[in-house]
Amino acid sequence: MLDTKDFTFFEGQNNFDFKGFLLKTAGYWKWFLASWILAFTIAYQVNIRKEKIYGMSNMISVKEETNPLFSGSTNLVFNWGGTSDQVQTVSTTLRSRSHNEVVVEKLEFYINYQKQSEYNIVDAYGEVPFYVKIDKKQGQLLGQLIGIKFISESVYEISIPFETENASLIHYADNTFSKTSVQNETFTKKYRVGEQVELPFLNWKLEIIDKPGFYKGNSYFVSFNSFDGTVSQYQNLSVVPNAQGSSILSLSMQGTNKARLVKYLNTTVEVLRENQLAAKNQFAQNTIKFIDSTMLKMERELNNNGDELKNFTKDKKIFDIESGGAKIAERLTQFDIERDLITRKIAYYDLLKKYLTESVDFSKLPAPSVAGIDDPNIVGNVSKLIQLSTERSEKKYAVKNERLFQEFDNQMEAIKKVLLENINTAKTVIRYDLNRINERIGEAEFSIKKLPEEQQELVGIQRKYNLNSSIYNDLLAKRSQADIVKAANVSDIKFIDPAKDVGGGLVGPKTGVNYVLAMFLGFLIPLIVVFGIFFINDSIQNTDDISKITTLPLIGVIGKKHNETNLSVFEKPKSALAESFRAIRSSLQFLYKKQNVDGAKTLMITSSVSGEGKTFCSINIATVFAMSEKRTIIIGLDLRKPKIFDDFKISNEIGAVNYLIGQKSLEEITQKTQISFLDVITSGPIPPNPSELIMSDAMKEMLDELKTKYDYIILDTPPVGLVSDALELVNYVDLTLYIVRQNFTKKGMITLLNNRVKRGELKNVSVILNGFESKAKYGYGYGYGYGYGNYSSGYHEEDEKKSSIKAIKSIIKKKSDKRD
């Protein structure tokens, strides 16, 4: 039946031993040193192998520039809109896929030029002495390094190591992919510079750049990336305004090649400027295109009119119209010009109405002024409609926001409704004007009919000629005006500081950070390991651990021995180790006196498990008593694993077992040692029933007889944590010494010791801490041992079957087996 005292395993073990942790940490200083050396070595290798990262930037301003030739008298409207969201639009456009596709295609940055550095292959854009012109309609090898070695200034060798029988190709003309069969080997072939390379997986022409320098014998690499992947890489462009609401933007990028960064930063701004200026000139281009098509038609009519007038007057002697008729003809021509202007207005209104009702793209509308329309409502609304339509087209690929496009559509729809109403109102007014002009023309034509027939015919021909000439000259003037205004337009985007490599720009790798990280991790990792060992290792570390777990008295602390045998006190009587045993002797004498023990004094030495130093302590405690000229004897009662005879160089053929079974007398089993006043009774042959022999009456008789001959009787017993033999001897001894070994004895064993004491199984128990070192480590070599293997090895029948691993361990620990 279990006793409640058995449930105290975790007694006194909940407090963190900070002092013990510090001692253990200090004991592992070599681990910290090795960890730092390793961490700093890794940091150094990373720093020298990692490619350097550079940061390049440029600065632009975004400000709407008014055309210097635009005034209130200018008939064409080219400037519209505001700058409220212009900066945001530019920022978004610079990071948009559609914009970066144009830039990447212009620079062909999907072609990589590389070379071998000391540690890896690096980007060599701007450093290689050549460039390749690729056939974009043909497939190019995708993602594979193409080695190029210059045999001479005009001959190079291509080398491609194919690892599979298929190669992936990319066709940059339509951005498609395909595969082709290749041989699983390294392809090599020589070509001349400028020669067209036509292979199933490569189609290019390699050209040397101007002033290439010396390149004979050098090796380089070329590779092709996917177009979409390259565009995505450059979409990480950073666009930041200098201040909130500022029209100045800073563009920056990071990469391993400064020349490539500089080229891309400046080109992306140039492409944006070109597109922005093209959009700004869209209105003028629409107007010029409309005027050109109209002038081409008018030019044909004017030529026909001129030929008709020339042919009419060729064979006739008619040089002029009479003065009265001339005035009428002049007035009729003026009326025709006015009617044509009204007719053109009506035609423009009809065209505009058709656009508004049938089209969704209004960016190609010509200016209303080309038809002589100067109504500010119509001119302004058409300008706004073109502006909104152009902005919507620009943001189609840059912004993925349906709500924004809905706002554009709502604004354009509102302007369309207003324009349709303006058109209806304007057409009503000009139809009235047209009717009045037609009446005047009718009156003038009636007056012309009074002239002679030939003069009437001449007036008609000159009338058509004058009208077309006037219209043509008016259109010509408007076109010239449009050309001048277009030429005077400038982009709203200007460079403040173009990107330029002026040295520096290094942003990584952060070598200092790597070293700081190495220092931190070099300390943290072993600290975590030690911290883990501290909690995983549930063994006794110092005297504080013992005092926290048990109230049993600690009467001595024994340090680590450094000699080969267990006769430490005898071999080095003046050592610190010998003094620690003398201190134990004094404590034992005090305890005997306290218990009023007269005559012979008995002492049992035991421990929890094998390997804790029972035999070592038994021999040396007996030695210090003998050296004080006290008759002392050691009895080896570890009947299962006898060891005590080795250190004294005596035989174990006969011993306590022979006496207990009645074969030998006490004098026959007692052996002298090289130490004066110290005798030994070994355990003798291993019996089949060790527990029964120890419990027999013969054991009591042996101890009673020994008490008559010796002052001190030391019993070297088996560990109580494994077998119960020692518990049977409790009633025969005055004191019990319980051996605890630093970094070996588990704290739970001390708890079991407490339970045995509380139940009375052990009496008059004192504790000795053995193998103590001030800087405790886990698993250090103790220098002696039982050779039991795992704790219970040799104490049970199954231990007779040793595995090969245990055999190897026993050989390795041969020297340490001599100590216990």
Residues 607-658 have pLDDT tens digits of 888 888 888 999 999 999 999 999 999 998 888 887 888 888 888 888 888 8
Model confidence at 787, pLDDT cuts 50, 70, 90, reads very low
- The answer to whether the beta carbons of residues 157 and 236 sit under 8 Å apart is no
Backbone angles phi, psi at 580, to 5 degrees: -65, -35
- pLDDT reading at 508 higher than 90: no
pLDDT digits (tens, 9 = 90+) for 257-268: 999 999 999 999
- What is the predicted pLDDT for the residue at 17? 61
Pairing of strands 155-161, 146-150: antiparallel
The H or E element that residue 647 is part of is: helix 645-648
More confident residue, 22 or 309: 22
- pLDDT reading at 75 higher than 70: no
- What is the predicted pLDDT for the residue at 469? 74
**Alpha helices (H) along 364-452:** 376-394, 402-448
Q: What is the mean pLDDT of residues 564-577?
A: 86
The H or E element that residue 707 is part of is: helix 697-707
Model confidence at 199, pLDDT cuts 50, 70, 90, reads very high
Q: What is the mean pLDDT of residues 445-458?
A: 66
Which amino acid is present at 653? E
- pLDDT reading at 251 higher than 90: yes
- pLDDT reading at 666 higher than 50: yes
Model confidence at 447, pLDDT cuts 50, 70, 90, reads low
Residue 324 burial (10 A CB sphere; 0-12, 13-18, 19+): exposed
pLDDT digits (tens, 9 = 90+) for 213-222: 999 999 999 9
Give whole-number Cα distances, 194 to 129, 208, 219, 613, 694, in Å: 13, 8, 18, 88, 104
- The answer to whether the beta carbons of residues 817 and 564 sit under 8 Å apart is no
Token look-up 């010239």 returns: 480
**All domains of the chain, ordered by start, with CATH?**
1-49+509-536 (no CATH), 86-265 (no CATH), 283-488 (no CATH), 543-818 (3.40.50.300)
Beta carbons within 10 angstroms of residue 382's beta carbon: 28
Q: Which of 412, 339, 344 is nearest to 374 (CA)?
A: 344
- What is the predicted pLDDT for the residue at 514? 84
One-letter-per-residue 3-state SS of 269-325: HHHHHHHHHHHHCHHHHHHHHHHHHHHHHHHHHHHHHHHHHHHHHHCCCCCCCCHHH
pLDDT digits (tens, 9 = 90+) for 79-103: 433 444 678 888 888 988 888 999 9
Q: What is the mean pLDDT of residues 573-595?
A: 90
- The answer to whether the beta carbons of residues 469 and 299 sit under 8 Å apart is no
Helices H / strands E in the chain, number of each: 23, 25
pLDDT digits (tens, 9 = 90+) for 693-720: 888 888 888 888 998 999 999 998 888 8
Residue 40 burial (10 A CB sphere; 0-12, 13-18, 19+): middle
Backbone angles phi, psi at 714, to 5 degrees: -105, 120
Model confidence at 155, pLDDT cuts 50, 70, 90, reads very high
- pLDDT reading at 551 higher than 60: yes
- What is the predicted pLDDT for the residue at 88? 82
- Alpha-carbon distance of 511 to 289, in angstroms, equals 61
- What is the predicted pLDDT for the residue at 82? 40
- Between 104-108, 156-160, 230-234, 338-342, the lowest mean confidence (pLDDT) is in 338-342
Q: What rounded mean pLDDT belongs to the chain?
A: 80
Which range has the top average pLDDT, 127-131, 468-472, 520-524?
A: 127-131
The token pair at 338 is: 């006015």
- Between 33-42, 71-80, 205-214, 723-732, the lowest mean confidence (pLDDT) is in 71-80
